[in-house]
Amino acid sequence: MTKELLEYLSGYLTPQRLNLFNQVIEERTNYLTVVLEDIFQPQNASAVLRTCDCFGIQNVHIIENRNNFKVDREVAMGSSKWLTLKKYNEEEQNSLEAIRSLKDQGYRIVATTPHINDQALHDFDLTKGKAALVFGSELPGVTDTIAEEADEFLKIPMYGFTESFNISVSAAIILHHLTLRMRQDETINWKLTDEEKDDLKLEWIRRSLKRSELIEQRFMKSKTKNN
């Protein structure tokens, strides 16, 4: 049914739009995912979303403890429309809920922090499996919960007086480095499955079409009538 619906809805797109979707989706990945923990500056959070889209990171996990996640449209440049955003804001311990969910999906939790001297960015082993990169709030960094649950810690080598980068800069540096290495390593199966591609493309088309619900209703009616 998904493939039939996908083919039907694709007919409402221009060939140029459909070709763009096909090109972009081939570079999307779930092998790396990003977790934003309690970010309070909309500009920083939105810049990270834009970076994720640019480097092909499809899923972004958003933990809301004290701060609500808000997208700055001018900074994000529409990137949030094409990403899959998962929010954790309904539990007493949202950070723990997010980590447990990601571990259940087979991710190793990698906390990005300049304060724990575990491994530098260039030493990070991508071949060990899927990784969820956790970026903490601007000043305090990742919480104790994340630090206790993390499987690994990652830091960007720095050689100046300032001890850390802005979160959006950190995300850009790390994702550029890791996605480049990921794509160059033929042993890493980083691409989406065919089923994941179909589901994602369907979601993109739905977001692109005005009144997509009515178009889908027409499709379902035609299927029922033909059966």
pLDDT above 80 for 226? no
Identify whether 148 is part of a domain: yes
Residue numbers of the domain that contains 152:
30-194
- Per-residue DSSP letters for 121-163? GGG--GGG--EEEEE-BTTTBS-HHHHHH-SEEEE----SS--
Q: Specify the pLDDT at position 41.
A: 83
pLDDT tens per residue across span 58-116: 999 999 988 788 777 777 678 889 999 999 998 889 999 999 999 999 999 999 987 66
Identify whether 4 is part of a domain: no
Q: Give the pLDDT mean for 123-144.
A: 90
CA dist., res. 34 & res. 37, Å (int): 10
Q: Specify the pLDDT at position 70.
A: 79
Q: Are 178 and 120 a contacting pair, CB within 8 Å?
A: no
pLDDT above 70 for 40? yes
64-101: burial string, b at 16+ Cβ within 10 Å, e else:
bbeeebebbeebbeebbebbbeeebeeeeebbbebbee
Identify whether 115 is part of a domain: yes
Is pLDDT larger for residue 40 or for residue 196? 196
CA dist., res. 161 & res. 163, Å (int): 6
Q: Specify the pLDDT at position 161.
A: 87
Q: Give the pLDDT mean for 178-202.
A: 97
Q: Specify the pLDDT at position 1.
A: 66
pLDDT above 80 for 145? yes
Identify whether 224 is part of a domain: no
pLDDT above 90 for 164? no
CA dist., res. 133 & res. 35, Å (int): 6
Structural domain total, the chain = 1
Identify whether 221 is part of a domain: no
Q: Specify the pLDDT at position 76.
A: 67
pLDDT tens per residue across span 165-178: 889 999 999 999 99
Which of 96, 186, 102 has the alpha carbon at shortest distance from 145?
Answer: 96
Is pLDDT larger for residue 33 or for residue 226? 33
Q: Specify the pLDDT at position 116.
A: 67
pLDDT tens per residue across span 7-36: 999 999 999 999 999 999 999 999 999 999
| pLDDT above 70: percentage of residues in the chain | 96
Q: Specify the pLDDT at position 208.
A: 92
Identify whether 19 is part of a domain: no
CA atoms within 13 A on the CB side of 18: 11
Q: Specify the pLDDT at position 134.
A: 96
Identify whether 21 is part of a domain: no
- CATH code of the domain in which 34 resides: 3.40.1280.10
Model confidence at 43, pLDDT cuts 50, 70, 90, reads: confident
